[in-house]
Amino acid sequence: MTFRAFIDQLKENGKLVEIFQSVSPRFEASRIARAAKAPIFFHNISGSKVIMNLLGSRDELASMLGVPKEEIIKRLSEVSPEGEVRLVSESPTLEVIEDQVDLTKLPILTHFEKDGAPYITAGIVVSEYGGTINASIHRLMLAGKDKLAVRLVPPRHTYLLHKKAAEKGELLPVAIVLGCDPTIIYATSTRVPVGKEFEYAAALRGAPVELFECANGVKVPHAEIVLEGYIDPVEKIDEGPFVDITGTYDVIRKEPVIHITRVIHRKDPIYHGILPAGPEHLLMMGVPYEPRIYRAVGEVTTVKNVVLTEGGCCYLHAVVQIEKQTEGDGKNAIMAAFAAHTSLKHVVIVDEDINIFDPNDVEFAIATRVKGDVDILIIPNVRGSSLDPRGAPDGTTTKVGIDATKVLIEKENFERAVIPEE
């Protein structure tokens, strides 16, 4: 499905909020998007069209995958990165070609009070070096008419490709893709084996992914806007501050620079913005880990579902639902979940009668099925998330697992009373 077709589908299903009056790219769009809590289409941000909150809830992810919300993780855990990728010569992205680059003409948003500059937040950076292709979303700070600072986190794939090129003093050709098939956006947010992002997207969408070649040789999917350029081997500038998933400011670092050499786009393109720390950002960061936790817990007991909760920034807190087979399964599930997602800090294991999408129901399980001295597992001095404001400077933290499952031999004590229909 194309980016536009997905937006049309949201509109047909009555899920799209549309704003026709002029909105400022500086704070105003972010403020409106945050309050909207739904996919929102701005028709006029400095004369351009912008969509935010595109994949902002599990309902949108479910419609992207064509499954009910409860089956998202089961579906994702079954897909392997083996779909077909095809090279084509034509693309609607080539409708308009701009050799005179001026990034300030794009509706790049400034999101928060102390942000270092306007930031591109939904740009998929496609890079290619030594026969290896990578595609992943990086935050991109506007640093001039044809210049962006890019946060490259070690040891992610873009970081490694840039490092290899820089060691030989070579430019790393890149293309920044904005507004493509949402399954590709999701796939590039997922950690798949090296070079497999588009194959994974093709498997997810159940149809081949088409790529076309940019002027600099980088192959990209059809999109609303593509920025072509290269990462300089040596140049680094201040990048930040920028708000990350916890809603707190990340620090200023020296980061590499992307020079943009050509811009191609559809006529009247739709720019995609992801609100930092907003639900779309959280889901894109977190949901790809849910199938990993699902599979890992499935190795030790019968797993039913997994959710990284919004209150836990979709990253630091998980709720894992199991069908407990033997006493101690809850503890094994805790250990499996921590092993599968190293940034996970707190995990709650619940039974199959608990609705893991309802925080009140999860709290009910903690209230009625936990005895602190035996059901809470505390693991100090383990590696945590660099995004956790409470983490130690050396990157370690303390992890807490809560086994909120019923004691099997006393099962009847935990039975939830029901009122019969008849």
Residues labelled catalytic: 244
25-54: contacts with Mn ion (CB under 5 A):
none
Residue indicated by tokens 């409106």: 32
Residue with Cβ nearer Mn ion (94 or 160): 160
Question: How many residues lie near Mn ion (CB under 5 A)?
Answer: 2
Q: Which of 199, 180, 106, 89 minimizes the C-alpha distance to 146?
A: 106
Residue with Cβ nearer Mn ion (58 or 157): 157
Is residue 157 a contact point for Mn ion (CB under 5 A)? yes
β 346-350/317-323 pair status: parallel
The least CB distance from residue 313 to Mn ion, in Å, is 23
Is residue 321 a contact point for Mn ion (CB under 5 A)? no
Q: Where are the beta strands (DSSP E) in 65-180?
A: 85-87, 96-98, 119-120, 124-129, 132-137, 140-144, 147-150, 172-178
| CA 230 vs CA 115, 135, 236: distances in Å | 24, 14, 13
The least CB distance from residue 173 to Mn ion, in Å, is 16
CB-based contact 271:107 (threshold 8 Å): yes
DSSP string for residues in 272-322: EE--TTSHHHHHHHHGGGHHHHHHHHHTTSEEEEEEE-TTTTTTTEEEEEE
Is residue 190 a contact point for Mn ion (CB under 5 A)? no
The least CB distance from residue 194 to Mn ion, in Å, is 6
The least CB distance from residue 157 to Mn ion, in Å, is 4
Is residue 162 a contact point for Mn ion (CB under 5 A)? no
Residue with Cβ nearer Mn ion (48 or 134): 134
CA distance 400 to 105: 48
For Mn ion, what does the binding mask look like between residues 114 and 153, x meaning CB under 5 A? --------------------x-------------------
The least CB distance from residue 236 to Mn ion, in Å, is 22
Residue with Cβ nearer Mn ion (129 or 271): 129
Is residue 265 a contact point for Mn ion (CB under 5 A)? no
Residue count of the chain: 422
Neighbouring CB atoms inside 10 A of 96's CB total 13
Which among 157-165, 172-180, 322-330, 383-391 is the span making contact with Mn ion, rule CB under 5 A?
Answer: 157-165
Which residue's C-beta sits nearest to Mn ion? Answer: 157
Residue indicated by tokens 């496609």: 126
List interacting residues with Mn ion (CB under 5 A): 134, 157
